[in-house]
Structure 1
């Protein structure tokens, strides 16, 4: 019988971290960015699990850096995908709002959610049981997974070791701040030894990280512009990562095409989008989120850029049903 273990993969952007529950019924939590799908498969193989042996992939939420490998695994190995029921409805109907991909201008290849999860559901891996906790905030369908035997929490992008997930007030609503606070309050009542988030290293003092996240959210409630700045910098940095930087002369047109940029400029900062471009660039440089290199603006975080050919496919949920039909 295979010995049970929990394996954490800390990954570079644009991929999110993954967690593999190596057991009689192996479970993979999140699958990284689409361009890293073959690397995702290789990591699973190197951990001693054949991809066809995966009993289930569970997504903490539907952003491109967490679900990008779903298509590859489902197409090549028939992998079963599980996600919160609210994400599943958008995904399975190929809704253009699915994954926020249209608004964020992030490519996601098509997949189907086979198992719709709800709060307090249980996922059995053989010798372990993972409890599904609905923890909305970063997205409305965001979930965390709790393993009580070793007191381990897999928290997606709800909070990180030294940060919290950005909040999409234009797609998830202004109540996302309060939802995040309520989700953190719920998790703070658990016995947690270690936590694994979607980005960054293992969290060895989860309750300290949760308290820090709640403190930050409390400041955001009092100063909503902080929410907007946090989100803008995270989204734009991810864009720079996906495109391996932007030439100075490309930046204006690229930003003006983005729904997120238009919304934050007009409604969070009450500026015409053209006026907000230089303000955002200055803040990216000041905060250290990006820097200039040979007339290119590049993200400061460590990353491996997706191949240009892959990015040029520009796959979005609005095209899934016609270009990439999937069987139910």
Structure 2
């Protein structure tokens, strides 16, 4: 594994929270993505330990899914950090439009935060003495950004590219285009001279060509039958709830799914099952994949 510069630290987080990327320069500090709400105290502790007596000047979000911005408010309250978000999300955050933001749709939580600046594709940021190019990365989220540092050949890829795949292609669940955009984003990444990728989830990796090949194969598999993308989304959303709660009554699973607008849309378009049937299917899939277990009347996280 190729080493990162000393000015870049990666806090690799467990699921619920995205990874956090801390950039510490001589004159500035910034954190890219802040994890999930319930992990915010841990995020703050990690940042405080790394920075010691220094301030956190800026928080930057690749996109506004709850696992990437859930610590924003905590860091703002503690440090008074400036927050920069993707430009397309500005009105939603300014008005805290819970219907337009993804939190309500996915049954997840995020404490309200404010922002001080926006970032658009094509912008160049100077962080820790390095120039970072902001690149549009639609697919998983239509407004997502990724950040590339040409001098270090490092890419912060958010959920556009993981070592083994990428995030759920959410726009397709609503009948919007997402597969083509995800493919175009992979093409953009392939065109960069990248030696090391810092993904939104999982360890940093340097086999960029291998990761791109696996991502393209996965994308082709999902695109061949969009029902697969919908099924994957339901499993992921249920697992997220289970990670947060650790235990869910089996009888509550259908109601939890119905409470998510994204589930209703995906079910109406692709799955066409009763909540009870789909809840039973999703539960069995998590158990089969050793991501959960059933004890009595409860589904437990593993």
- Residue of structure 2 equivalent to 1:30: 33
Shift of 1:173: 4.4
Shift of 1:275: 3.0
Q: Is the 8 A contact 1:284 1:290 kept in 2?
A: yes
CA distance in 1, matches of 2:241, 2:265: 16
1:173–1:130 distance in 2 versus 1, CA, 3 Å: farther
- Residue of structure 1 equivalent to 2:144: 142
What is the root-mean-square deviation in Å for CA atoms of aligned residues?
A: 1.9
Residue correspondence of structure 1 range 301-312 to structure 2 within 5 A = none
CA distance in 2, matches of 1:220, 1:236: 19
- Residue of structure 1 equivalent to 2:117: 115
Of residues 146, 168, 171, the one that matches 2:170 is 168
Moved over 6 A (4+): none
1:169–1:287 distance in 2 versus 1, CA, 3 Å: farther
Q: Is the 8 A contact 2:16 2:243 kept in 1?
A: yes
Of residues 229, 232, 257, the one that matches 1:230 is 232
Of residues 257, 260, 276, the one that matches 1:258 is 260
Q: Is the 8 A contact 2:254 2:275 kept in 1?
A: no
1:210–1:89 distance in 2 versus 1, CA, 3 Å: farther
Does residue 1:54 correspond to 2:53, yes or no? Answer: no
User: 3-state DSSP class of the match of 2:299?
Assistant: strand
- Residue of structure 2 equivalent to 1:124: 126
Of residues 203, 222, 226, the one that matches 1:201 is 203
Q: Is the 8 A contact 1:61 1:139 kept in 2?
A: yes
Q: Is the 8 A contact 1:6 1:22 kept in 2?
A: yes
| Higher mean C-alpha deviation, range 277-286 or range 18-27 | 277-286
- Residue of structure 1 equivalent to 2:84: 82
CA distance in 2, matches of 1:122, 1:59: 15
Of residues 91, 94, 97, the one that matches 1:92 is 94
| Higher mean C-alpha deviation, range 170-179 or range 59-68 | 170-179
Unaligned regions of 5+ residues in structure 2, if any?
none
- Residue of structure 2 equivalent to 1:185: 187
Q: Is the 8 A contact 2:17 2:67 kept in 1?
A: yes
Does residue 1:45 correspond to 2:48, yes or no? Answer: yes
CA distance in 1, matches of 2:284, 2:127: 48
Q: Is the 8 A contact 2:156 2:198 kept in 1?
A: yes
Q: Is the 8 A contact 2:34 2:43 kept in 1?
A: yes
CA distance in 1, matches of 2:75, 2:173: 28
Q: Is the 8 A contact 1:91 1:98 kept in 2?
A: no
| Higher mean C-alpha deviation, range 195-204 or range 166-175 | 166-175
TM superposition score normalised by structure 2: 0.92
Unaligned regions of 5+ residues in structure 1, if any?
301-328
- Residue of structure 1 equivalent to 2:154: 152
1:71–1:77 distance in 2 versus 1, CA, 3 Å: same
User: 3-state DSSP class of the match of 2:114?
Assistant: coil
CA distance in 2, matches of 1:147, 1:259: 37
CA distance in 2, matches of 1:171, 1:275: 19
1:44–1:91 distance in 2 versus 1, CA, 3 Å: same
Of residues 89, 92, 104, the one that matches 1:102 is 104
Shift of 1:227: 0.9
Taking CA–CA contacts closer than 8 Å with sequence separation of 6 or more, which of the two structures ends up with the larger relative contact order? 1
TM superposition score normalised by structure 1: 0.85
Q: Is the 8 A contact 1:241 1:298 kept in 2?
A: no
1:218–1:242 distance in 2 versus 1, CA, 3 Å: same
Shift of 1:211: 1.9
Aligned residues: 297
